[in-house]
Amino acid sequence: MNDYFALIKAAVDVRRYSVAPYSSFSVGAALLTRDGKIYTGCNIESSSLGLTICAERVALFKALSEGERSFAAVAISTSTGEACPPCGACRQVLLELAGNIDVLSIYDDKKYTMLKLEKLLPKAFTNKFIKRDR
């Protein structure tokens, strides 16, 4: 059994930096690399709403942009007392760019549910389906 204690704490702690004036729903995410580094992210909302970015993708893009390519798990923290799974867009981007990692949905700041990402996004579209048709 993996020890995700530090990852869970990082996801809970980063929630405080959430920029969510429109939804008032703060989300923290922490992404663990296979060599044990943690990258955090929070949701950041824009007045155009559609340009909002989820906590999970902030964490992932931070890690990728610093050269990380190998991941083990992502933890997601909200304050609403129930496990919050990643949205569809984040499932797609995480599966493509982080692989079939463990997804921990944290509630009450320490309890969590855990699933493999492929369980959350079965039969995903990936670049293996992209073939030139002309």
Task: By CB under 6 A, tell whether 92 contacts ligand THU.
Answer: no
Does the protein bind ligand THU through residue 87 (CB under 6 A)?
yes
Among 30, 32, 56, 112, binds ligand THU (CB under 6 A): 56
Stretch that binds ligand THU, among 3-11, 51-59, 64-72, 114-122 (CB under 6 A): 51-59
User: CB–CB of 14/41 below 8 Å?
Assistant: yes
What is the DSSP secondary-structure string of 44-99? B--TTSTT-B-HHHHHHHHHHHTT---EEEEEEE-SSSS--PPPHHHHHHHHHHH-
Residue 55 · residue 47 · CB < 8 Å: no
CB of 55 to ligand THU, least distance (A): 4
When binding is defined by CB under 6 A, the residue of 2, 23, 80, 113 that contacts ligand THU is 23
**Does residue 117 contact residue 94 with C-beta atoms inside 8 Å?**
yes
Structure tokens at 93: 């981007």
Is 42 in a helix, a strand, or coil?
strand
Q: Which is nearer to ligand THU, 2 or 23 (CB)?
A: 23
Min dist CB 36 to ligand THU, Å, is 24
Closer of 32 and 77 to ligand THU (Cβ):
77
Chain contacts with ligand THU (rule: CB under 6 A): 20, 23, 25, 27, 43, 45, 52, 54-56, 86-87, 90
